[in-house]
Amino acid sequence: MTGRPSAASQGLDEHLSRPPYVAAPDFEAKYRAQCFCGRVQWSIGQDALSSMYCHCETCQTLHGTPYQWAAVVPKESVHFTAGIDALCYYSSGERAARYTLPCKLSCGDCRAPIADEGRNMMLLMPTYIAFPRDHNGRKLVPQPWKPQHHMFYGRRVADMKDGLEKYVTKKGEGKCDDEGRVIEDEQGAKGEK
């Protein structure tokens, strides 16, 4: 015994009594997902509100990739069904391994990045969702989950010529072309081409 108060006595486990750690009333699973090793599993009760590729430096560094595919859903539409005890939390704002919103969730076993949890929303990684596959094994991703735009494109590692809208920072802030040149600023004014 170290004499330190437990997390429960400090109220630090309070988040485990609400979604996504317990099911919201009338929750019905529409999709199922799991981390790479399968220890952490979750269900999703609705389609994504938005889906995008994020090129921010935090995503690049924490995921070890040039960009990540992420989708937004309300927290009440997510329910962790297994492996809650294996979840690790990381506050990138505080650069500390703790549950402080917003925070990043990952599996403590395989270390797979699972989601970003905010006050009301979850930013999920659709890669882990068990979408059906075609005869070649390709995932058949429903339209609401397909990326609709790129954000933080100004921080990109490589140009992406995929026909999707691109924003220098967040959606609606500095629309740009495939080479990152601003074509419309926050007020809707056209930029130089």
- Which pLDDT value is given to residue 62? 84
Average pLDDT over residues 97-124: 95
* Domain 29-128+144-184, CATH: 3.90.1590.10
The answer to whether 101 and 90 have CB atoms below 8 angstroms apart is no
81 pLDDT band, cuts 50/70/90, is very high
- Which pLDDT value is given to residue 187? 59
The answer to whether 147 and 52 have CB atoms below 8 angstroms apart is yes
Task: Give the residue among 132, 45, 42 at the shortest CA–CA distance from 87.
Answer: 42
| Rg of the chain (C-alpha set) | 18
- Which pLDDT value is given to residue 5? 39
Instruction: Please provide the DSSP assignment of 32-91 as one string.
Output: EEE-SSSSSEEEE-S--SEEEEE--HHHHHHHTSS-EEEEEEEGGGEEEEE-GGGEEEEB
Average pLDDT over residues 29-56: 97
Task: Give the residue among 144, 139, 148, 123 at the shortest CA–CA distance from 62.
Answer: 123
- CA 122 – CA 63 distance, rounded (Å): 17
- Which pLDDT value is given to residue 63? 85
Edge-to-edge strand order for the sheet containing 121-124?
87-90, 103-107, 113-117, 121-124, 68-74, 50-54, 149-151, 165-167, 175-176, 182-184
- Which pLDDT value is given to residue 185? 62
pTM for this entry: 0.84
Place of tokens 């490589």: 158
Q: What value does the mean pLDDT of the chain take?
A: 89
141 pLDDT band, cuts 50/70/90, is very high
- Which pLDDT value is given to residue 192? 47
Instruction: Please provide the DSSP assignment of 140-153 as one string.
Output: ---GGGS--EEESG
Average pLDDT over residues 147-172: 94
